[in-house]
Structure 1
Amino acid sequence: MTDTAEHDDPVTHEGRGAPLRERRLAAHHRARRVFARFGFQQTLRERLALLEKAAAVHDLDQLSDVYGDGVVEALETKVAGLLGTEAAAFFPTGTMAQQVALRCWAGRTGNPAVALHALSHPEVHERNAFSELGGLRTLRLTSEPRLPTAAEVRDFEEPFGALMLELPLRDAGFVLPAWEELTEVVQAARDRDAVVHFDGARLWESTVHFGRPLSEIAGLADSVYVSFYKSLEAFGGAALAGPAELVEEAKAWRHRYGGMVFQQFPTALSALVGLERQLPRLPEYVAHARVVAAALREGFAAAGVPWARVHPEVPHTHDFQVWLPYEPDVLGEAAVRAAGETGVMLFGSAWDRGGPGLALTEVHVRAAGLEWTAEDVKAAVAEFVARLPEQVR
């Protein structure tokens, strides 16, 4: 999926200020039934209501944080415990966290080359930040819509100091490797004396696919980045977790990069709320995403659409892609019209061009999506297809 350098949400693909985008967001907000209601789609009043739950996760009679102490340190301790690492550091953004992590590893390994996937977030969405700011050099292991294989890591023709794996790989369809494949890839990197860093922005929801707890998954890597807003619905923020010595060095670089923010308690509290309220529900969302995906396939087949694809066919997480053989603006218009006329928004995210005559969108299943039965999904597909122009059906 295309995206902007500054934004990594599921609704930015049409570009800011686009009339279709504005109509889609308005239709989504008014719809009585959607698959997900993200925080950035809410009003400020609705968003601030999240902090009403903060008293259940932290002592609000403590002094507020100053430059990373107090509630920020409590969040760091919580994350390190969940991931099974010695320490963790809070960062205002994942972009900063990963630049710092890979910069620190380059200094320790003596090799500034980072092996990664061509579709990984730093390659696609961060304006060459690794090379422009960190003095790092990226090596693309593959551009296939899957994670790199052990053979691709083992046989790559250039040396590298670090292997970076995005789990799941969003732009390939939120895909994950099998557990055995992942362990083989990690071992292949170790055999080359490279460290392993996980871009785990969405690692929280990978436990169902892997059949392993978070600590075991994170334990494969030398360092891990996690996001607090992509699945946990916090206001923002990220954490870098790993060995205590690395984390202490990362905090020094965080200061140099401008990440030593005076007060961060709203974001830290929202992250603690997310860990308490959202994290335990992610397996439920993943399970229901598979119900939704199957119903979408059946619905498009029943509606007579000549070709449709849900990718992955069985979602690896609670997010997946839908591909259809129409132009993006045609599909976007049909989605907005169906939502406005029925109150049901089947596709809340933008449609992006996936090739000649093809478009794709992302489907995100969260708490609101649990209300949908398979029959609800099929009925919504029929309404959506009915609003496609006759000449393209």
Structure 2
Amino acid sequence: MSGREKDMRQRRRLALRGAKRRLAVPGLESTTGERLSALVAGAASVHDLDLPSDLYGDGVVEELERRVAELLGTEASAFFPSGTMAQQAALRSWAGRTGSPVVALHPLAHPEVHERGALASVSGLRTVHPTTEARLPRADEVRGFEEPFGTLMLELPLRDAGFTLPTWEELKAVVAAARERDAVVHFDGARLWECTTRFGRPLRDIVALADSVYVSFYKSLDGIGGAALAGSASLVDEARTWRHRYGGQIAQQFPTALSALIGIEQELPRLPSYVAHARTVAAALAEGFAEAGVAWSRVHPAQPHTHEFQVWLPYDADDLDLATVRQAEETGTALFRKWTGQGPPGLSMTEVTVSAAGLEWTADHVREAVAQFVARLPGADAGTA
């Protein structure tokens, strides 16, 4: 990272922290003191703090595992320090059970884009792609795929395609197609918690379609970190063995486990309201860009499937970052966060998350913020800010 990039990163961090109005305030952007204070404030409501601390996965970690299994309706779950490790353990276990090291997944799935080839490098697995379209594969694509595979992995939602989900009927059909091929089904459910609105089904019904599922505690639930792998007792036991081999048998993890329990208690019940309001925000963003005379813009999906979605604009990412920071500094409103230019030439994208802070925004607030933002883009009339 260049000195200029570091300076902008620090400026953006300070601008966002200083903004009085934001659509989301992720815990990961908090100070150490703020995180510790939140942990202390909420811990007693989810766990008896007079009990002995955890040691190599007992105590509060076991309590969290029981809670997750209960929520998801599985026989068991195992805590992991990261989702990358949890899925390594799951997919490696399924490879041994099915006799196939081949995992069918989307090319935009997390292991393909964000894990430096870990499935092949660490676990000796090979991946294939039933589709390259910016959506999860359809049943006919899974059924007719020309190569054999032992496991079908579905990321719910598919983050890098805009946090998109199939319909409930489409998901059931895809799972059925995998079963016809004698493949097992694993859900990458890092953000599974907020999928219930789109599917119109409780978590247990969604998880029941798969043979295993991984969930994250630091994304939707705003925990410190960590993940869980859930499924049958025998699979989870095997995954615990791989967890140890991969270096995940950590002496004490009570801060992470406590923050996960707090997230389950406090954030999980609120996620449906975030999803619902994200649709209001997305519609107002589209209206705001149209009213501001931006030549082209896209909110994707137009009606978000979860409480997160993408916004695309025909500007350089650096210019959009600067407008984002200036708006936060000059108006106290931070509409966006970080922009990336890693899409089609001439277009940049940002991800929008709507959480508790965003519930205070009306559609009028959003449109007003869009006008302020556009006024700070290259070629705009600064007098309209």
- Band of TM-score, shorter chain: over 0.9
Q: Report the secondary structure of 1:326's partner residue.
A: coil
The 5 A counterparts of 1:192-207 are: 192-207=181-196
Alignment correspondent of 2:147: 158
Deviation at 1:349, TM superposition (A): 2.9
Q: Report the secondary structure of 1:320's partner residue.
A: strand
8 Å contact from structure 2 (residues 28, 222) kept in 1: no
Quick one: distance in 2 between partners of 1:185 and 1:346?
Answer: 37
Quick one: distance in 2 between partners of 1:390 and 1:233?
Answer: 38
Quick one: distance in 1 between partners of 2:168 and 2:358?
Answer: 27
Structure 1 residues 235-278: Cα deviation after superposition (integer angstroms, max 9, x where no partner): 00000000000000110111111100000000000000000000
Tell me whether 37-46 or 14-23 shows the greater mean CA deviation.
14-23
Alignment correspondent of 1:36: 24
Q: Report the secondary structure of 2:195's partner residue.
A: helix
Structure 1 residues 55-113: Cα deviation after superposition (integer angstroms, max 9, x where no partner): 01111111000000010000000000000000000000000000010000000000010
- Of 253, 257, 264, 1:275 maps to 264
Alignment correspondent of 1:22: 10
Matched, 1:362 2:351: yes
Matched, 1:96 2:69: no
Deviation at 1:139, TM superposition (A): 0.5
Matched, 1:215 2:204: yes
8 Å contact from structure 1 (residues 118, 141) kept in 2: no
Quick one: distance in 2 between partners of 1:159 and 1:382?
Answer: 52
Identity of aligned residues (%): 67
- Of 304, 307, 311, 1:315 maps to 304
Tell me whether 137-146 or 315-324 shows the greater mean CA deviation.
137-146
Alignment correspondent of 2:58: 69
Q: Report the secondary structure of 1:355's partner residue.
A: coil
8 Å contact from structure 1 (residues 34, 348) kept in 2: no
Quick one: distance in 2 between partners of 1:166 and 1:279?
Answer: 19
Change (3 A) 1:386 1:376: same
Quick one: distance in 2 between partners of 1:85 and 1:310?
Answer: 36
Quick one: distance in 1 between partners of 2:130 and 2:298?
Answer: 26
Quick one: distance in 2 between partners of 1:61 and 1:17?
Answer: 46
Gaps of 5+ in 2: none
Tell me whether 33-42 or 218-227 shows the greater mean CA deviation.
33-42
Alignment correspondent of 1:292: 281
8 Å contact from structure 1 (residues 331, 351) kept in 2: no
Matched, 1:338 2:308: no
Matched, 1:235 2:224: yes
Change (3 A) 1:312 1:253: same
- Alignment TM-score, normalising by the size of structure 1: 0.95
Quick one: distance in 1 between partners of 2:219 and 2:13?
Answer: 18
Deviation at 1:392, TM superposition (A): 11
Tell me whether 63-72 or 40-49 shows the greater mean CA deviation.
40-49
Quick one: distance in 1 between partners of 2:3 and 2:159?
Answer: 19
Deviation at 1:352, TM superposition (A): 3.2
Letter in 1 for 2:92: R
Alignment correspondent of 1:46: 34
Alignment correspondent of 2:170: 181
Number of aligned residue pairs:
381
8 Å contact from structure 1 (residues 352, 360) kept in 2: yes
Quick one: distance in 2 between partners of 1:337 and 1:315?
Answer: 27
Q: Report the secondary structure of 1:59's partner residue.
A: coil
Alignment correspondent of 2:214: 225
Q: What is the root-mean-square deviation in Å for CA atoms of aligned residues?
A: 1.6
Alignment correspondent of 1:142: 131
Change (3 A) 1:244 1:16: farther
Tell me whether 375-384 or 18-27 shows the greater mean CA deviation.
18-27
Deviation at 1:14, TM superposition (A): 10
User: Which portions of structure 1, spanning 4 or more consecutive aligned residues, are displaced by more than 4 angstroms?
Assistant: 13-17
8 Å contact from structure 1 (residues 94, 237) kept in 2: yes
Alignment correspondent of 1:128: 117
Q: Report the secondary structure of 2:70's partner residue.
A: helix
Letter in 2 for 1:48: L
Quick one: distance in 1 between partners of 2:191 and 2:363?
Answer: 26
Quick one: distance in 2 between partners of 1:331 and 1:261?
Answer: 41
